[in-house]
Structure 1
C-alpha cells in the first residue's frame, strides 16, 4: 500500500472522541431528617421519589464543559404521607471534550457525562441517608437517554404552546 492510500484511509475516519474528567465536586448538599424532628407516629413505611435535573454549560476554556446533576429525593410515609427526609444534591463535573460533532454535543453532555458522574452521586446519597439515620438508599440506575428525550419533548411542547400566542399578537 502506498503512502497516499494510507493517508486517504485515515482522512475518511472521523477523529477519535476525547473525554477527560478534570474535576468533580459537590456544589450543594442538604439532608433534612424530618422524622426525628417531628417524632415517629406509628409504623413507618417509606415511599421514595427521586427527581433528576441536568444542566450543562460551556466554560471559558476551549473544550471544557461543566455538568451539574441535581437530585431531589423525598421520602414520605406511605401510611399517612408524613415527610421522613429530604435530600437535595447538586453534583458537578468539569469535562474536557474534543472531536464530538456540534450536532451531537448537547446529547453527549447531558447523557454521557451524567452517566459517568452517577456512581459518585449514588455513593453520596447512600452515605448521607445512612449517616442521617436511615438505611442506606441505593439509587436505581438513571436512564439518562430517556431523561434527555423527555426534556427535548417538554421543550418542544413549550415552544409549540407559545407559538400561537406570539403569532396571534403580531
Structure 2
C-alpha cells in the first residue's frame, strides 16, 4: 500500500484511506428441510459463493459490499442456505486508477471478510447448525485472477 500511496502522492494529492463505517446490508437464512434435517446423519457438503461490488458515494467516499452465500447439503438434501452482505464505507482519495481499483477490489474486501465470516457463523449457529468457520480468503489473488480474466477477454487494458 505504501507504493500505491506514493504513486498517488506524486500526482500532487496526498493519498488518504479511512474506514468510516462497517455494517450488515442484508442477511438471510433458510433451512427448508428442518426439523427433519436434524434427524439425519450430518455429512455436510459446503458450497461457498463470494462476490464483491463497490459504488462511489458523494465526494471521495465509496461503499464496498462483500457477499458470502453458502449452501450446505447433507446427501441430496439442502440443510440450509445462508447469505450475508457485509458492507463498509471508505474514504479513499489521492490514488491513481490502478491503486484505486486494487484498494476497492482487494484491500477493502479483506477488511470486511472477518466481519462477514462472524455474521455468517452466528447466523448458522442460531439455526442450530455447527459453525462454518470459513478459511481466510486471499483477496489479492482473487483480484489478480479477475484482472487477468478481464484482460484476456479484452475488457481491460493493462495498468
Gaps of 5+ in 2: 1-8
Distance 1:126 1:40 in 2: 18
Cα distance, 1:53 vs structure 2: 0.6
Tell me whether 1:70 sits opposite 2:67 in the alignment: yes
Residue 91 of structure 2 aligns to a residue whose secondary structure is strand
Tell me whether 1:123 sits opposite 2:118 in the alignment: yes
Distance 2:60 2:138 in 1: 26
Show the counterpart of 2:137: 142
Relative to structure 1, the CA distance from residue 35 to residue 67 in structure 2 (aligned partners, 3 Å threshold; closer, same or farther) is same
Show the counterpart of 1:106: 101
Gaps of 5+ in 1: 1-10, 161-170
Residue 128 of structure 2 aligns to a residue whose secondary structure is coil
- Cα RMSD, aligned residues only: 2.4
Cα distance, 1:143 vs structure 2: 1.1
Query: So what's the TM-score if we normalise by structure 2?
Result: 0.80
Residue 107 of structure 2 aligns to a residue whose secondary structure is helix
Tell me whether 1:92 sits opposite 2:87 in the alignment: yes
Show the counterpart of 1:26: 24
1:108-152 per-residue CA deviation (whole Å, 9 max, x = no partner) reads 111000111111111101111111111122111111112212322
Between structures 1 and 2, the one with greater helix share: 1
Relative to structure 1, the CA distance from residue 40 to residue 135 in structure 2 (aligned partners, 3 Å threshold; closer, same or farther) is closer
Query: So what's the TM-score if we normalise by structure 1?
Result: 0.76
Show the counterpart of 1:49: 47
Residue 34 of structure 2 aligns to a residue whose secondary structure is helix
